[in-house]
Each structure stands twice: as C-alpha cells, then as structure tokens.
Copies of this chain bind each other. A is one copy, B any other.
Amino acid sequence: MYLTQALKRTMQLEGRNTATICGDRVRSWNECGERVAKMAGALRKMGITDGERVAVLALNSDRYFEYFYAVPWAGGVFVPINIRLAAPEVAFWLNDSGTEILFIDDNFLHILEALDGQLETVREVVYMGDGPVPNGMHGYEDILAAADAVPDALRGGDDLAGLFYTGGTTGRSKGVMLSHTNFVCNSYNVIGGMRFRPGIHWLHAAPMFHIADGLAVFGVTMVTGVHIFIPAFTPEDSLEAIQAHKISHGLFVPTMMNALVNHPDIEKYDLSSLESVAYGASPMPEAVIRRAMEVIPDCGFIHAYGQTECAPLSTHCGPEYHVFEGPNAGRYKSAGRAALGVEIMICDEDGNEVPRGEVGEVCVRGPNIMLGYWNRPDLTAEAIRDGWMRSGDGAYMDEDGFIYIVDRMKDMIISGGENIYSAEVEDVLHRIPAVVEAAAIGIPDEKWGEAVHAIVRLRDGETVDEAAIIAHCHEQIAGFKCPKSVSFRDEPMPLSGAGKILKTELRKPYWEDKQKQVN
C-alpha cells in the first residue's frame, strides 16, 4: 500500500484528462505524472535517498501538489511547514526534522533570509515561484527540465511518508510521523465517508500544509478527481474559483466558512456546482452552519472530525444529519460517527470505555493512526495507549454512535468544580446578531478557580453592551456557564495557521503569572 499508486492508476485511467488547474496553468494527468517522476529524478540527483526529509514552505499551488507525490516517488519524506510560523519556529521544524532540501515560494523568502546560518541540515533550496531564481537556489522548472524520470522508489506500508508538525501554538511542536498506510487508509475512509466520486472538482482553498486539505491531495487523486488551487483562502477568490471551475467538493475551516457564507456578494455567484462541502478542524458555530445551508441550499455539508495524528479523519457527520426535522434533527451538532476503517471509544482517564451519554476522552484506533512523534517516544507512549490514540478532546457518544465534542480537554473551563465547555458558550454568543467572532476562556477567579470570560468582536457599526451579552447567555444556558465578564476587541481574533482561534493567545494576558490548570 503506497501513496503514489493512486497517481499511477489515475494516469492509466484519465491520462489525457485534467489533473490540476492553478491560475492559467492546466495540466493533464499524463503531464502531471511525468513531472512527478522527473522531479523525483531531480531529488534523487540531489542525493535524496530513502527516508530523507524534504520540506516545503509555500502557498497552495500545482507545484505543491506535485511535491506531495515527487517526494515519496523519490523515496523521501515530505514535511509541509505551517505558513503562519515565525522564523525561529520554522528553524525549529526544519532542524528538528533534519530536512535536507527545502522547497519555498516568493512569500517566504524573507523567512529564509532571517534564518541565515540557523539551518543545520538544509543543504539545498528549491525556488517554487515564477520569478527569477534567487541566488544559491535551484529553480523548480529548471531542475525538472534537466532531470530524467526515475522509477518509483516503492516505499509503502509502515514506511514513513510524511512529517506533519502539530502544536507550535502552545509548547514545543511535535512531528507527527505518518506512514504510507496511514495516508492510503485515510483516503479510503474519506472516499467512503465524504462522498468522493470519480471526476469531482476539489478546491484547495485551505492551506495545503495542513492535513485537513492534505487529505484531499491523496483522496481526490484516488477517485480521479480534478485539483483546483488558489494560493490562499479569501472569500472572494474562493467564490470566483467555485463559479469558474464548477467546484463540486471542498473543505473549509469554520473561520473560512464564516467569511464565505457571510460575504456580502455571495448571492452574485453561481455556486450550484457544489455537491459536498466539509468543515472541521475546530468547532463550528451553529449560526454559521445554518447560514451556510441557507445560502448554498443544494450542497451537502459534512462535519469532518479528526486530528493530524489520525491522518486525519476519525468521524464524520453527513448531509443526512444536517436537518432540522425528523429523527435525525440536531445530529449536525455532533461530529458524526466512526469513519469506515476507524474505531472510536469514549474513555475515562484509565482508558476504560464510559457508558453512552457520559463525557470522556475520544480515543481512536485504526490503520490511520500515526507511527508516533518524531524522536519523541516519550510523547508517543503518552498519546497512544494499547493502540488507541488519545485525542485530547472531550465528548460523549449517543446510542447510535454519534459523538458530541464538548471541548478540547485543554480548552475546558473548570469553574466551581463544574466543567464548562467553551464551545457551548461560544455557540450562544454567536447567536447574537451583532457578534462576528466570539471566544470563551477561563480566567483566574479567587472564588471559583476559573471564571468564564467572553471576548467578542462586533460587526462594524453595531453595538451591544456587556450586560446585554451576559443577559442573552442567561436566557439560553445554565447560570454557571455564563460569562461573568466580557471584553470587546476591534481586530480579528488571532488565528493559527489552520484557522483556529488561538485561545492560548487570548488567555495569556490573564494568566501571565499564574498556571492554567490543564486537564
């Protein structure tokens, strides 16, 4: 079982048909496959042998896609770098992974300059842009033109295919080691669960370094779909691309979905080609998904839940559960049920399954579970218990196997001994029409240990005061869950590279000299 098998099969089936669309560049599967085999030749010529790391720091493009296949074809390991990192963090990822070759585009050359002398293992840099090749770098198209196609290295099974770093927003980043089997099994699970069919048109709008879009790189190829790239998410570029390229499938994280479906011009675009849109990577405010279902009524929405360590899909909740009436009403609030080849168990702290309906930690088992953390057997042993990956997420499971995520364990607020799930509070805050963004965090409180604090950003020109917000919450949820205080901010919330609100950043000013209790 190996990653490049799908590329070869799709070349055999659809060789003359379109593989990638990136701006004006359109390439067939035959062209794409030949370029991959030649880029693999170039990597081999640069000394890449089995298991060596090749990183990329770039916005989305067809070349990023080719990279994802050329590296394993050459026998190497891909290491996609978070595009939001500061230079020292990039240095840590590259050095920690022992990356030998770095692919980079124009947007990140300044980071490379800032790191002069700090990269311990990178010995070659490949420039992926279209401008003149910077001094000391190889031009992507130059080395490709000069290389001969090489046979596939045929690494597979439990061989390491990619290193995806997680965290980086809190504590030290960890390299998640994902194997060929991990990726292929995840693709199978995605195809079965996310309604992939032959010939789908996938919009790569979420950043490709993140495994939430990465899943589509491999899954879409496997079903002979077409890949369409925009450099980075903006609502305008996404809407344009959906209309121009008849996008049928895509994935947006909640912050992107929010920006997309609340875009003032959304009605002007023809979005009727959309069959299936997945969302995930962080909790989706109910108001946003309801709005999405209103403005793109013929599209099926799928909540995909997972994490990098699970390659990433663990559960999904499909369009049949995005309904407001009948026996499945309200199930769209769940993260759905175990994906095809995945086992899900809700556990107590000792790893025992808890009864249905009780909150515990989501644990995941299957061939999609990572090999471990790179050079961190200590963390691997903590994370994987008897083959079960501990997600760090709190959830309960209903009688039909649907899981309801209540919070990241570490985002849970504990006030007066009660567990309060920030996602629940945020959902209520989002129901206030004037609220654009909202976060609930725990702040130090002498009496309760932690108190719920709300941080909100209002729509331009709208006003609502602290008392009104707190009163609104009291109408909807139990008193102990309601914010005791509210702060307002004008600028957008700080986001991680994956578009998640950085709670750690929001909490920082309140906890500077105190220790946040992490469950």
Contact = CB atoms under 8 A, between A and B. Distances in A.
Interface of A: 1, 5-6, 8-9, 12-16, 154, 181, 184-185, 188, 191-192, 222-223, 337-338, 340-344, 366-367, 387, 397, 399-401
Secondary structure at the A interface, as helix, strand, loop or mixed, is mixed
Counting chain B CB atoms within 10 Å of each CB, which of A1, A12, A14, A223 scores highest? A12
A191 B187 CA distance: 13
A401 B341 contact: no
Contacts of A188: 185, 188, 192, 340-341
B191 A400 contact: no
B9 A343 contact: yes
The 3 closest A-B pairs by CB, nearest first: A13-B401, A188-B188, A1-B367
A489 B268 CA distance: 72
A397 to B, nearest CB: 8
A401 B12 contact: yes
A340 B191 contact: yes
B401 A222 contact: no
A185 B188 CA distance: 9
A340 B197 CA distance: 11
B400 A5 contact: no
Nearest to A17: B400
A13 B400 contact: yes
7 contacts: A1-B181, A1-B367, A5-B341, A9-B342, A9-B343, A12-B397, A15-B399
B5 A343 contact: yes
Nearest to A181: B1
Contacts of A400: 13-14
A384 to B, nearest CB: 15
A269 to B, nearest CB: 30
Contacts of A343: 5, 8-9
A14 B401 CA distance: 8
Contacts of A5: 341, 343, 366
A187 to B, nearest CB: 9
Nearest to A154: B387
Counting chain B CB atoms within 10 Å of each CB, which of A15, A341, A366 scores highest? A341
B185 A1 contact: yes
A223 B341 CA distance: 10
Contacts of A367: 1, 184
A387 B152 CA distance: 14
Nearest to A196: B192
Contacts of A399: 15-16
A341 B1 CA distance: 8
Given A8-B343, A223-B192, A343-B8, A338 B185 contact: no
B192 A13 contact: no
Contacts of A192: 188, 191-192, 223
Nearest to A336: B13
A337 B400 CA distance: 37
Contacts of A13: 337-338, 400-401
A185 B181 CA distance: 11
A342 B5 CA distance: 8
Nearest to A11: B401
A451 B337 CA distance: 61
Contacts of A8: 343
Given A9-B338, A14-B401, 5 more contacts: A1-B185, A1-B367, A9-B343, A14-B400, A185-B188
B338 A12 contact: yes
Contacts of A14: 400-401
Contacts of A366: 1, 5
A168 B6 CA distance: 35
A264 to B, nearest CB: 38
A258 to B, nearest CB: 30
A223 B222 CA distance: 19
Counting chain B CB atoms within 10 Å of each CB, which of A8, A181, A337, A340 scores highest? A340
A344 B12 CA distance: 9
A88 to B, nearest CB: 40
A188 to B, nearest CB: 4
A341 B12 contact: no
